[in-house]
Amino acid sequence: MGKRLIAILALALIVGFAFGPAYAEVQNVKVSGDINILAVLRNNFDLGNPPSAVVGYDGGGSPSGPVNSTKENDKGRFFATQTRVRIDADLTDNVMATVRLINERNWTSETNSNTDIDLDLAYVTLKEFLYSPLTLTLGRQELKFGNQLIIGSNNTYTFGAVNGVPADLSERTSFDALRATLNYNPLVIDLVYAKASNNDVNSSDDVDLFGVNASFDITKMLNVQGYIWDRKAKNLAAPAPDTKDDIYTLGTLVTLAPIEGLKTSLEAAYQFGHTRNNVNVSEKRNAWALQALADYTFTKCKMAPSIGAGFTFLSGQDKNNGWNQMYYNEALNPIAYAILPFTNLQVINLRASIKPMEDVTVSAKYGNYRFAKTIDNFTSAKFDSNGNRYVIACSGKKDAGNEIDLGVTYDYTEDVQIALNTGWFLAGGAINDNGGTRDATQLIGSMRVTF
pLDDT the model gives residue 388: 83
pLDDT the model gives residue 236: 57
> Is residue 363 packed enough to be buried (19+ CB in 10 Å), middle (13-18) or exposed (0-12)?
middle
pLDDT the model gives residue 62: 42
CB 447 within 8 A of CB 418: yes
> Across residues 429-435, what is the average pLDDT?
80
CB 346 within 8 A of CB 310: no
CB 150 within 8 A of CB 60: no
Task: Domain ranges for the chain, please list them.
Answer: 31-450
pLDDT the model gives residue 238: 45
Give the residues across from 46 on adjacent strands. Answer: none
Q: Residue 205: which pLDDT band, with cuts at 50, 70 and 90? A: confident
Angle CA 189–193–198, to nearest 5: 155
Angle CA 397–401–405, to nearest 5: 170
Residue 332 has pLDDT above 70, yes or no: yes
pTM across the whole model: 0.87
Residue 53 has pLDDT above 50, yes or no: no
Digit-coded pLDDT (tens) for 66-99: 554 444 446 789 999 999 999 999 998 899 999 9
pLDDT the model gives residue 274: 84
Residue 194 has pLDDT above 70, yes or no: yes
> Is residue 149 packed enough to be buried (19+ CB in 10 Å), middle (13-18) or exposed (0-12)?
buried
- Give which of 420, 419, 424 is closest to 442, Cα–Cα: 424
Residue 280 has pLDDT above 80, yes or no: no
Q: Residues of the chain with pLDDT > 90: what percent?
A: 66
Digit-coded pLDDT (tens) for 117-164: 999 999 999 999 999 999 999 999 999 999 999 999 998 877 677 888
pLDDT the model gives residue 371: 96
CA dist 205 and 426 (Å) reads 38
Residues 6+ apart with CB under 8 A from 130: none
pLDDT the model gives residue 59: 40
Q: Which CA distances in Å does 216 have to 159, 183, 220, 226, 255?
A: 36, 10, 10, 9, 10
Residue 54 has pLDDT above 50, yes or no: no
Q: What CATH class has 31-450?
A: mainly beta
Digit-coded pLDDT (tens) for 250-271: 999 999 999 999 999 999 999 9
Of 26 and 62, the one with more pLDDT: 26
E-assigned strands of 25-131? 28-43, 75-92, 95-106, 118-126
